[in-house]
Amino acid sequence: MTSTAPTGTRSADAPPIEIHDLHKHFGPTRALDGLDLTVAEGEVAGFLGPNGSGKSTTIRVLLGLLRATSGEARLFGADPWRDAVDLHRRLAYVPGDVTLWPHLTGGEAIDFLSRLRGKPDPRRKKDLLEAFELDPTKKARTYSKGNRQKVALVAAFATEVPLLILDEPTAGLDPLMEAVFTEHVRHAAAQGTSVLLSSHILSEVEKVCDTVTIIRAGRAVESGTLDELRHLTRSSVTAVVEGDPAAVARIDGVHDAVTAGDPEGTRLTFDVDNTAMGAVLTTLSGLGVRSFTAAPPSLEELFLRHYGDDVSDVGASGDGDAADGAGSRSGTGSGRGAGRHAAATTSEAGAR
Partner 1 sequence: MSTAVAPPAVRSAEQARGATLTGTGSLVRFMLRQDRVRLTVWAVSVVFFYTYFTFALNLFFDDTAAMQGRAALMETPVGIVMGGPGYGLDDYSTGVAMSNEGITWMVLALAILSILHVVRHTRAEEESNRSELVRAAVVGRHAPAVAAVVTLVLAQAVIAVLSAGALVAVGDLAVADSFALTVGSGLSAMVFGAVALVVCQVVGHARTATGASLAVFAVAFVVRAVGDIRELGGSTLSWFSPIAWAQQMRAFVDLRWWPIALSVLAIAVLLVVAALLASRRDFGGSLVETRAGRADAGPALRGPLAMAWLQQRWALLWSCLGLGLMWFASGTMLPGIGDMIGDMVVDNPMLAQLFGADPSQLAVGFLSVLVLYGAVCCAAYAVVMAQRPKAEESSGRAEVVFSHPVSRHRWLGAQAAVAGVGTAVLLAVSVYALWGGAVIAGWGDQTFTDYSVVVWTYLPALAVFLGLVLALYGWAPRLTGIGWALVAYTFVVGMFGQVFDLPDWVYRVSPFDWVPEVFSGEPYAGDVAVLWAVAVGLGVLGFVGFRRRDLATG
| Nearest-5° Cα angle at 292, 290 to 295 | 165
C-alpha–C-alpha distance, residues 90 and 254, integer Å: 49
Q: Does 56 bind Mg ion (CB under 5 A)?
A: yes
Q: Does 49 bind ligand ATP (CB under 6 A)?
A: yes
Task: Choose which of 63, 164, 209, 215 interacts with partner 1 (CB under 8 A).
Answer: 63
Task: Choose which of 26, 160, 316, 349 interacts with ligand ATP (CB under 6 A).
Answer: 26
Task: Choose which of 15, 42, 54, 80 interacts with ligand ATP (CB under 6 A).
Answer: 54
Beta pairing partners, 240:
267, 291
Contact 178, 204 (CB under 8 A): yes
Size of the site for ligand ATP (CB under 6 A): 11
| Residue count (the chain) | 352
Helix 145-157 and helix 122-131: axis angle, to 10°? 140
Q: Does 46 bind ligand ATP (CB under 6 A)?
A: no
Q: Does 56 bind ligand ATP (CB under 6 A)?
A: yes
Q: Does 297 bind ligand ATP (CB under 6 A)?
A: no
Q: Does 137 bind partner 1 (CB under 8 A)?
A: yes
Specify the stretch interacting with partner 1 by CB under 8 A; choose among 33-41, 90-98, 248-256, 300-308: 90-98
Q: Does 53 bind ligand ATP (CB under 6 A)?
A: yes
Cα–Cα nearest to 141, from 170, 95, 101? 101
Q: Does 57 bind Mg ion (CB under 5 A)?
A: no
Q: Does 307 bind partner 1 (CB under 8 A)?
A: no
Task: Please identify, using beta-carbon distances, which residue of 16 and 96 lies nearer to Mg ion.
Answer: 96
Q: Which residues of 124-142 are buried (b: 16+ CB within 10 A; e: fewer)?
A: bbeebbebbebebeeebee
C-alpha–C-alpha distance, residues 275 and 232, integer Å: 8
C-alpha–C-alpha distance, residues 210 and 56, integer Å: 20
Q: Is the dihedral of CA 264, 265, 266, 271 positive or negative?
A: negative
Applying CB under 5 A, the residues found at the interface with Mg ion are 56
Applying CB under 6 A, the residues found at the interface with ligand ATP are 26, 29, 31, 49, 51-57
Applying CB under 8 A, the residues found at the interface with partner 1 are 56, 60, 63-67, 84-86, 88-89, 91-93, 95, 97-105, 107-109, 111-113, 115-118, 122, 136-139, 141-142, 152, 165
